Amino acid sequence: MAEWPKKPTKWIDNKKLYVSVPFTWNLPALKKELLQMDFEYSVAIVGGPAVKLMPNYFDYVPGVFADIGDMPGVMQRVNPFATKTSVGCPNKCGFCAVPKTEPEFKELEDWPDLPVICDNNLLACSDCHFDKVMDRLEKWEGVDFNQGLDIRLINEHHIERIKRLARPKIRFACDSNKELSNWIRTVKKCIESGIKKTWISSYALIGRGESPESAWVRCNEMDKHCRYVNPQWFHELNQLVYNKVTNRQKMKGWNKKERDDIMSFFYMKRGKRKYQYNY
């Protein structure tokens, strides 16, 4: 259920080609493909998060039109188990695409009843909405809070409801070292309250204004308290090259090897752990 394609999702409907594009670095290859394609349909409609971030990227490509709306059912074409019960997020984090792709935070009255929850900030929703979501999820096994739960907002009521689920995948995030102490305190509270450590993993944004050593220190400390740490390489919102090490990141000591070392270790346990001292 957790598998997501890393490239655009395509389908044809009513003689139109539709393409949902997840990442901005998918755009150059897709543009080249559409420029070279012999159209067997009337037009191509491109959309998805990347197109919302760069809506003018396909200007002047013949027969191709950008659609930055939300087409019903698109998410399930990408992942048939995925759903959203709310859109947007009240936080306005500078590194995040959500304020641009989903600027309005709102709870949905209804949603596809599926177990991969892709809300950008489920815990920012009202208790009433959260309870409606959890009531529906109790029949599923392996519910995946795929986009992460806000460590700053989780409370005892949230914990009690999550504990009632069958082997959920709980994902948190720790985006900087200044958030680490609160992250540790909250994860410990969850475990002490009865949530199993094996249910918890966490994203760790790296490469945004910090050195490789600083990123390793945070990931090493997080690794003690949860099942998995998943480093997420920082990309600018209009970045067209996947995993590019920018000049700003190079000034902090990053290069391709430093990035590959930390990603390979925490995702595949390849190589050696670095900077093994307490934070």
- The CATH code of the domain that includes 195 is 3.20.20.70
Instruction: Identify whether residues 99 and 235 lie together within a single domain.
Output: yes
Residues 275 and 220 sit within 8 Å (Cβ to Cβ): yes
What's the whole-model pTM score?
A: 0.91
Number of domains in the chain: 2
Whether residues 18 and 45 fall in one domain: yes
Within this chain, do residues 115 and 19 fall inside the same structural domain, yes or no? no
The answer as to whether 161 is a domain residue is yes
Beta bridge partners of 87: 106
25 with 102, same domain: the answer is no
Q: Two tokens at 165?
A: 């689920």
Boundary-marking domain end, from 35, 66, 97: 66
53 and 147 together in one domain:
no
Which own/partner pairs from 127-135 qualify as long-range (CB within 8 Å, at least 24 positions apart)?
A: 127/157, 129/85, 129/86, 130/157, 130/158, 130/161, 131/161, 132/85, 133/85, 134/161, 134/162, 134/164, 134/165
Residue 134 within a domain: yes
Based on the domain organization, do 134 and 204 belong to the same domain? yes
* β pairing state of 170-173 and 200-206: parallel
Q: Is residue 121 part of a domain?
A: yes
What pLDDT digit, counting tens, does each position of 154-192 carry? 999 999 999 999 999 999 999 999 999 999 999 999 999
pLDDT tens string, the chain, 279 residues long: the values are: 556 888 999 999 888 899 999 999 999 999 999 988 776 677 899 999 999 999 999 999 988 999 878 888 999 999 999 999 999 999 988 899 999 999 999 999 999 999 999 999 999 999 999 999 999 999 999 999 999 999 999 999 999 999 999 999 999 999 999 999 999 999 999 999 999 999 999 999 999 999 999 999 999 999 999 999 999 999 999 999 999 999 999 999 999 999 999 999 999 999 999 987 554
Q: Are residues 113 and 246 in the same domain?
A: yes
On whether residue 2 sits in a domain, the answer given is no
Residue 102 lies inside a defined structural domain of this protein:
yes
Residues 21 and 151 in one domain: no
What is the SS3 assignment for 2? coil
Rounded to whole angstroms, the Cα distance separating 187 from 164 reads 17
Residue 112 lies in a domain: yes
Please indicate, yes or no, whether residues 127 and 244 belong to a single structural domain of this protein. yes
Does the residue 183 lie in any domain? Answer: yes
The verdict on 85 and 59 lying in the same domain is: no
- Shared domain for 94 and 205, answered yes or no, is yes
What domain range is 222 assigned to?
Answer: 80-268
Indicate whether 95 and 32 sit together in one domain. no
Exposure string of 238-273, with b = 16+ CB inside 10 Å and e = fewer, is: eebeeeebeeebeebebeeebbebbbebbeeeeeee
On whether residue 4 sits in a domain, the answer given is: no
231 beta partners: 204
Which of 39, 66, 93 represents a domain boundary (last residue)?
A: 66
